[in-house]
Amino acid sequence: METIHTIEWMKQIVHAARASDRILGLVPTMGALHEGHFSLIRAAKQQCTQVAVSIFVNPTQFGPSEDFSKYPRHLDVDRAALHNLGVDYLFVPSAQEMYPTGFSTFVEVQGISDRLEGCLRPGHFRGVATIVLKLFEIVQPRFAFFGRKDAQQARIIRQMCADLNLDTQILVCPITREADGLALSSRNVYLQPDDRQAATALSRALAAAADEIKKGERDPARLLASVRRVIDGEPRVTLDYAEIVNAETLQPVTSTLHGTNYILIAAKIGNTRLIDNALIEQDGELFKLSV
């Protein structure tokens, strides 16, 4: 595995790959890698000739009161894991490399960025879209792999690629969970032992909605009521939002379920903020919920 620190070097690698007709896949990360990231890498290795992973803790997607300085950084451990997984290239640029003095251009995907996480974390998705576009321009991957846990982020990146006519195809992979249902996240390391158990309320709430759908419930308000009952039953969890939204528009679903939708949850457990979701897909009269 080759570790690359500069944009110029990364572009030289990319040009050589394209000249040899190699299919390059990219897994963008902020490091502190876990099995969720590894599942994306394995998917990339199945789809692509070569796989690049980027590790960059992007300062522009953190708000003033968020955890940029505390965000876990374990580069040596991450590098060893990526080597063992057979990753071809590790791109680890510095902040100065990605945002040199005088940097003044940002990307905004309006509409779907403005609510949910975008409302609670102003400027977050502007930072995400900007760094992802830069990575796509530098690495020029045929495919890029994102996790479904960050469903709103993945939808925004897909919209950006469509609007700007980018060649990179976005592939969204399933959520990876612990045995007790907790969705894997680099921020899980912040959880204290009592908070760690309480955090399973998010996946339990989604499972409760899944049970209601299996029983035939199609009313979004009643499904959300079952979600909130589980969350409210865990005193260590403070709900930021729980919504059922259309998977394309991310607008709330207020009538009977139809088409493809998400149940999206964000909550604080102690000092740690986590998100989770379930995908609801309609197939004729049947509904499938993937947690």
Task: Please provide the size of the chain in residues.
Answer: 291
d(CA 123, CA 116): 12
Residues assigned a catalytic role: 37
Token pair of 131, please? 């760094």
Token pair of 186, please? 């680099």
Estimate to the nearest angstrom the gap between the alpha carbon of 209 and the chain centroid.
22
Query: Could you tell me if 229 and 208 are in contact, meaning their C-beta atoms sit under 8 angstroms apart?
Result: yes
d(CA 22, CA 137): 17
d(CA 288, CA 209): 11
What number of H helices and E strands is found in the chain? Answer: 10, 10
